[in-house]
Amino acid sequence: MYEEPWAWPHPTRHTLGALLMEAGNHAEAVYRADLGLDGKLPRPCQHRRNVWALHGLHECLLRRGETLERPHVELLLQQATARADIPIEASCLCRHRAA
């Protein structure tokens, strides 16, 4: 059924990733999909440079000790948080803060 605006404008992947992280599970694939880094989602469903997904991906990279990609993601995250009007402490507002 067509609806405008969308019934759920907030991507549910942010919430899924945050819940997976709180449960101690690996959520990197969720954030990569949201950012369009894995090519699995069609372009309208990708949220490139999204501050929430960048925060989640950065936290995942930190957790697994990744050093090659992390500086690039950290730079993108810094650019995105510079434009944010609220402090970004986790990958979803439903999650209080990063672990």
pLDDT in tens, the chain (99 residues): 666 666 666 678 878 898 898 888 889 999 999 898 998 888 877 778 889 899 999 999 999 999 999 999 999 999 999 988 888 888 887 776 555
Per-residue confidence (pLDDT) for residue 88, from 0 to 100: 87
Per-residue confidence (pLDDT) for residue 2, from 0 to 100: 65
Count how many domains the chain has.
1
Residue 49 belongs to a domain: yes
Residue 88 belongs to a domain: no
Residue 52 belongs to a domain: yes
Q: What is the pTM of this model?
A: 0.83
Per-residue confidence (pLDDT) for residue 32, from 0 to 100: 93
DSSP string over the chain: ---SS-S--S-HHHHHHHHHHHTT---HHHHHHHHTSSS-S-GGG--TT-HHHHHHHHHHHHHTT--SSHHHHHHHHHHHHHT-SS---SSSTTS-S--
Query: The domain containing residue 74 runs over which residues?
Result: 12-82
